[in-house]
A and B are shown apart, each in its own frame.
Chain A
Amino acid sequence: MSISRRNFMKGAMAAGVAGTAGSFAMNPAMAAVHDATGERQHDLFKQFKGNVILLPGKYSGSVSALDLSVPETLAWYNFGLAGIDMPIPHHIAALPSEDPYQGFDFYQTMQPPAAPYVNENSPEWRDRGAFKMFKMRYDGSDKQQNKISVVNDISETTGMALGVHVSIGVGPNANKYVAFADGQKDMVLITDLGDTPKIVKAFRVDYDPVARQVNVSHVFPDQSTGKFDFIDRKGMKTSHEAMLGEELMPADPTAVFVDAFTWHPELPLGAILIRRLGCCAIVDTNTWEVKAMLSTGKGAPDNFPLVKQQGYTWTYSVPSVLTPLHEAGFMTSGEYFLACNNVLQNNIAVYRSEDPDPMKWKKEAFVEGFGRKYLPLHMGNVPDSRWAFFTIWARKPHHGYICKVDPKTWKVVAKWHTGPDPHTCDCTVDGQFITTVYSGHQAGQSGMVVIHADTDEIVARLPNPGGMHDHVVVPESWEGLKSSRSTSV
């Protein structure tokens, strides 16, 4: 078994081989993981040991692995190497690793620049970039240089290219599945976790604006090829991802903006998030049947009624949509399912989600008080579910903020103005700290902030050159993944 430079040095120092360790410390060019002992900021950052953070550079075209305990970038990969012009690494999820310094696998989605640079589009941009999903690998076993590499182009392997959220199964679905979604195509793909992933199930969601119904359908690969025919732009309803508020924009009449699939941590259930309709389709992950269509807005019923099931299509009546939602997910305990309603209503719906029958899930509360300028956007968990964290986004000239919600009262108990255009939250593997990124409205200020989850102190702020739209702390176990990119996004 190979050993990382960091662990080697740690062991060497523990054995009292101070001279050897000292010689390595004086020659950092030889170290694949830097030992910051003795450096002035070490006292601050050493508490983050064990936390490797993946940062997809949405506007830099790269993904990097950050050792928060130094801090330093361990390795990075530019997707131009994968042959993509103007790559836009979008969302990310990491498989658990007992020693992330040694290695781990992760998933990276990608979308064409028409989405993030929607403001700048011109006919010249329309062929640039690509929808992609990659399985990636970080290898820290080499003492000279760490490496990130592509394991598999899942979009090519499956024939379906989706560019938004990726989430990995936990609980009953641990070590089985990964889900990809895309709101430009309104599709979800579930594959296994293999290095050459196999298709498990795929969904497509379409709205019928005349009948005011939504259809959730299984879609199947071509029998002759075993693949779908949705590579790159194929299947795209809208040429850019809907920005916040664009749920009200004119779009393809069938468009509903399916952005993510989130996994129940304790039950064989998952949620397809349907932004434009303010709905979440709850799916049985044993049979992949749709079991309920939650309608999350305040004043809406707990769920919408099934009109019919015909073959592999479930049709639900959606008589009115009081508000869109953005993301929705489960708390780590599985006790609650939380939905970020936004645009027309800005609140967080709280469903109790312990019953195996999602038709029995009821809205018990709403987190409120966000006003008309601030939109609940993303959700972050901690392992013991003592808090829930949310990104509250705002349009310019406002910056948005991060807030902490007490699940005993469903009140906001702390908020932080971390920077303009805040995005996802995650937590360190010990659950003590919250990490969050901000990206400066597609330019300008960007960075990552580390917050103590209990004292509410901002502990650290790191620069971030890529306008990061997402990030993930590599979880240490399948149990730890429950508070990472799985139950929430």
Chain B
Amino acid sequence: MKTSRHPARGGRLTVGCSAVAGALMLALAAPGTAVADSKDGRFPTADEVGGEVFPRGVQAGDRFPTDWDIYDANGNKTDVAKLIKGKRTVLAFFISAVPVSVEELKKLQNAFTGKGDTQLLFVNSDQVGGKLLGVDPIQETARTVRVIKREENIKHPMFVAPNDALSPTGLSNKLGFRGLPTVFVIDKNGKVEKVYVGPQDWSDTRV
């Protein structure tokens, strides 16, 4: 069973991108995030999210999609395509609400050899809500990511990628992941080499 809690934090850093928070996410989503289809409270059909709850998703050999929003750990908007252009990239998606995915960050960092032009990037694929507290979800999520970075002693760049799971074009539906961590290894031409779903024994896996 891979369910042990985060040793340093009790696995309690919670970031929510909930159905209930949908309206908030929509209001604050940056241009380019296609979320309009869930604005009126509709839920998607299976066909709109890959055919079922657990879609096939982006696979090895596919071109890695880059048309989604991303912010750095200071909450500044950046560009996925620029980040991975010309570099072999290990792109590790996690969610701060899931202890096992946070635990994976350090394991992956320790196993990462970083040879040549390969880079390791961590992306929190969610955002903290803040409607009642009146905070900016992107900035609040960036703050959460900075806490993880400090507590986990993460040396590699960390990012925030807002997600709307109920939008057919939300990040998790665009990439087709449901379990985190999910790690994409992308070659320097933007093609997916390998996809890892769930915690891995990275000591046996060269990344």
Contact = CB atoms under 8 A, between A and B. Distances in A.
Asked whether A and B interact, the reply is yes
Interface string A210-252: 1010000000000000000000011111111001111111111
A239 B165 contact: no
B150 to A, nearest CB: 10
Interface in A46-70: none
Nearest to B129: A119
B42 A324 contact: no
A463 B129 CA distance: 28
B166 interface: yes
A253 to B, nearest CB: 3
Contacts of A324: 53
B95 to A, nearest CB: 5
Given A118-B14, A123-B13, A252 B98 contact: yes
Contacts of A320: 51-52, 54
B63 interface: no
Contacts of A10: none
Contacts, number: 217
Contacts of A126: 9-10, 12-14
A44 interface: no
B41 A245 contact: no
Interface stretch (A35-43, A168-176, A356-364, A394-402): A394-402
Nearest to A344: B46
A161 to B, nearest CB: 13
A320 B51 CA distance: 9
A98 interface: no
Interface stretch (B65-73, B109-117, B171-179, B184-192): B171-179
A458 interface: no
Contact of B53 (A254, A321, A396, A441): A321
Given A122-B128, A372-B43, A249 B17 contact: yes
A212 B22 contact: no
Main secondary structure of the interface of B (DSSP, over half): loop
B158 interface: no
A258 interface: no
Contacts of B54: 209, 212, 320-321
Given A344-B52, A345-B46, A238 B97 contact: yes
B11 A236 contact: yes
Contacts of A396: 20, 22-23, 41
Interface in A338-352: 342-346
Contacts of B15: 121
B18 A250 contact: no
Contacts of B125: 250
Contact of B20 (A243, A254, A276, A346): A243
A307 interface: no
B144 interface: yes
Given A123-B143, A126-B13, A252-B180, A234 B51 contact: no
B44 interface: yes
Pick the most buried of B3, B10, B15, B129: most chain A CB atoms within 10 A of its CB. Answer: B3
A278 B9 CA distance: 32
A190 B31 CA distance: 50
- Interface-centre pick from A117, A233, A248, A320 (highest chain B CB count, 10 A): A248
Given A237-B3, A237-B99, A373-B40, A248 B173 contact: yes
A245 B44 CA distance: 9
B143 to A, nearest CB: 7
Contact of A209 (B22, B143, B197): B197
8 contacts: A119-B18, A245-B165, A248-B166, A249-B178, A252-B99, A252-B179, A320-B52, A395-B19
Interface of A: 112, 114, 117-123, 125-127, 185, 204, 206, 209-210, 212, 233-240, 243-255, 276-278, 320-324, 342-346, 372-373, 375, 394-398, 441-443
Nearest 3 A/B pairs, CB to CB = A253-B179, A245-B19, A119-B129
Given A119-B20, A123-B13, 10 more contacts: A120-B131, A209-B178, A209-B179, A245-B22, A253-B197, A346-B43, A373-B42, A396-B23, A396-B41, A441-B20
